[in-house]
Amino acid sequence: MNLPDDDPARPDGVAGGRYGEAVFRPELPGEDDRIDLGALAYDDFTLARLRALGAGPGWRCLDVGAGTGTVSRLLLDRAGVSEVVAVDRDTTFLTAHPTPGLTPLEADITALDFAPGRFRLVHARFVLMHLRNWPRMIGKLASLVTPGGVLVLGDAVDLTTPAAPTTTYGRVMRAMWQGLGDSLGTDVSWVPDYPARLKEAGLLSVGAEILVPPLLPGSPISRFWADTWERAREPMTATGSVDDATIDAAIRYLDSPDCAALSPGLLTAWGVKAPE
């Protein structure tokens, strides 16, 4: 049965695959540790931007795809916001560590009846890139922002290019994007268009920035990619462009002093809802 991308009966991923089901299942041992490695690489950057946009006392915030809740807790502990509603399709990691002011909400943001209220800040990081219906989701998340509030979206930008020299690292990174695209519908090709997309959604004072953490032996980001490749081996090898030996070699390269490559970056874009 062919269904439109915004039909509630249609899964977000290709061939029924969804993040957390086809790949990166939260019940598998160590998945929370993998998520936290990414948090160690990106959280300070994210929090600095959210605070620069005004997040602080009196703000009610929505953290979409909250994962283990690191951004939600930083908003409460360091920015001093009043409340964070942390939404995820599986809130196991959120409910494991209750925090005053943090309200876990188990929900599917792509559901047509998803309506958690309105917030001064709506934030989503590494979420929309895994959704086939991301254009509709930008507008939907913008509709949850109160007048004068802020929508902040962050997703990956792929820095490997066809013109770059062919390396084991590059082959494996490209196989990861292809494998996740085939199994989940992941697509980062549109992410550099975020500023224009936020303008189209009617937001003002749009801006964007990119963080590219250095790939250093033993660093959180290097360990994050190594763990991600381990967990995504099946869709990566299914592309036919890499095998297990190639993935193993790339993982060793990440932990080597010879590593000289660029990690995918985090592009963060934001826009302000017009005051009433």
How many whole angstroms separate alpha carbon 14 and alpha carbon 67?
22
Q: What type of residue sits at position 274? A: A
Q: For residues 68 and 128, is the Cβ–Cβ distance under 8 A?
A: no
Q: What is the pLDDT of residue 165?
A: 72
Query: How many Cα atoms sit within 13 Å of 239 on the Cβ side?
Result: 23
Map tokens 């010879």 to a residue: 258
Q: Give tens-digit pLDDT for 56-73.
A: 999 999 999 999 999 999
Q: What is the pLDDT of residue 17?
A: 74
| Torsions phi, psi for 85 (to 5 deg) | -90, 115
pLDDT tops 60 at residue 14: no
| Torsions phi, psi for 255 (to 5 deg) | -100, 15
pTM: 0.91
Supply 79's token pair. Answer: 């920015």
How many whole angstroms separate alpha carbon 160 and alpha carbon 173?
8
- Angle subtended at Cα 133 by Cα 148 and Cα 41, rounded to the nearest 5 degrees: 70
How many whole angstroms separate alpha carbon 72 and alpha carbon 86?
7
**CA dihedral (76, 79, 85, 89) positive or negative:** negative
Q: What type of residue sits at position 31? A: E
Q: What is the pLDDT of residue 20?
A: 75
Mean pLDDT, range 194-208, rounded to an integer? 97
